[in-house]
Amino acid sequence: MTRKPLPAGVLAGILWMVVSTLAMVGVNGVVKHLGTQIPAAQSAFIRFLVGVVFFLPMVPPVLRARYPARIWGLFGLRGVGHVIAVLLWFYAMARVPVAEMSAIGFINPVLVLVIGGLLLGERLGPRRFAVALVAFLGAMVVLRPGLRELSPGHWAQIGATCMFAVTYIVAKRLSAELPAGVIVATLTFTVTLGLFPLALAVWQPVTAVQVLWLAGAAGFATLGHYAMTRAFALAPLAATQPVGFLQIIWASLLGAIAFHEAVDPWVLAGGALIVGAVSVNTLAEARLAARPGTQMDPPGPEL
């Protein structure tokens, strides 16, 4: 029995997802390349400052909108949480192998599932509990606590992943009332403002080349989120979600080729468990809750 070729739209969606995974690893590679040359707060500030330029036209509409104090409070809460998450992520990226960073980061959707369920009063049924358990086991395979010493960088990435999950939940609350563009723009502004005094406290001279590298990281992040959105619009989650595992493959290759990091089969195995659990849950949630024309939000941190 011959298999039918994939429809053009599905194939295009898969290709966009491949582009997204490559772009996200590009962000990791740039920050890893800069390493500890620039303090984490300063690196993060410069990266987000580049993003501010793109969102400046949105400042007048946001100020004219006269959002209630509750909305501004959520903006501020998400900004503070994201500042902490970004600082921890930039610190960890300079100290943890690229593949391990990617694998740990994939826990984010599971944390959103668990934390969001507890905060929003949703029931954590058997399926969600099983997904969280498998993802936790995958994380243990990646980290292998007790079999090796976990560095401050590992703990920083774990903390960053948890904080990204919290800010994602706040974003979900905001998305029920505001356009996506406003949510992304206000996040960029608040994080840049929050990072400014922290960056100023540790500021050191930077070269034009270093600034260009960080601008490149901002470009990779923008491309990654755009490509992911395009993938979700063109193809079903059954086709695109498993492709996310390629990010760990690319990260392992990047680490091995560019940074001489050993390819760790335990990281690949643990990452596969995490991505598999996330994919199963995403597909199940889509079948149960999706409405015609509704799209699932892209998972993962916004860097």
DSSP secondary structure of the chain: -PPPPPPHHHHHHHHHHHHHHHHHHHHHHHHHHHTTSS-HHHHHHHHHHHHHHHHGGGHHHHHHT---HHHHHHHHHHHHHHHHHHHHHHHHHTTS-HHHHHHHHTTHHHHHHHHHHHHTT----HHHHHHHHHHHHHHHHHH-BTTBPPPHHHHHHHHHHHHHHHHHHHHHHHHTTS-HHHHHHHHHHHHHHHHHHHHHHT-----HHHHHHHHHHHHHHHHHHHHHHHHHHHS-HHHHGGGGGHHHHHHHHHHHHHS-PPP-HHHHHHHHHHHHHHHHHHHHHHHHH--TT--PPPPS---
Residue 298 in any domain: the answer is no
Average pLDDT over the chain, rounded to whole? 85
**pLDDT tens digits, 233-277:** 787 766 777 788 888 899 999 999 999 999 999 999 999 998 888
**pLDDT tens digits, 15-58:** 998 999 999 999 999 999 999 899 999 999 999 998 888 888 88
Residue predicted with more confidence, 79 or 147: 79
Residue 3 in any domain: the answer is no
**pLDDT tens digits, 49-95:** 988 888 888 888 888 888 899 999 999 999 999 999 999 999 999 99
- Look up residue 187 and give its two tokens: 């996040």
For the chain, how big is the Rg over CA atoms in Å? 19
Residue 255 in any domain: the answer is yes
- How many domains does the chain fold into? 1
Domain that holds residue 257: 12-289
CA 101 to chain centre: 11
pLDDT score of 300 more than 90: no
pLDDT score of 226 more than 90: no
Residue 32 in any domain: the answer is yes
Residue 84 in any domain: the answer is yes
Residue 100 in any domain: the answer is yes
Percentage, residues of the chain above pLDDT 70: 88
Residue 294 in any domain: the answer is no
What pTM, to 2 d.p., does this model score? 0.83
Q: Which pLDDT score is estimated for 283?
A: 75
Q: Which pLDDT score is estimated for 294?
A: 47
The residue behind tokens 């070729």 is 5
Least confident of 10-14, 104-108, 176-180, 280-284: 280-284
Residue 81: how many other CB atoms lie within 10 Å? 21
Residue 199 in any domain: the answer is yes
Q: Do the beta carbons of residue 42 and residue 203 sit within 8 Å?
A: yes
User: How wide is the angle at C-alpha 233 spanned by C-alphas 231 and 238, nearest 5°?
Assistant: 65
Residue predicted with more confidence, 20 or 228: 20
Mean pLDDT of 273-302: 66
Q: Which pLDDT score is estimated for 302?
A: 61
Q: Which pLDDT score is estimated for 3?
A: 53
- Look up residue 155 and give its two tokens: 């703990």
Q: 283 Cβ partners below 8 Å, 6+ apart?
A: 237, 238, 241
Q: Which pLDDT score is estimated for 5?
A: 59
Question: CA–CA separation, 225 vs 228, rounded Å?
Answer: 5
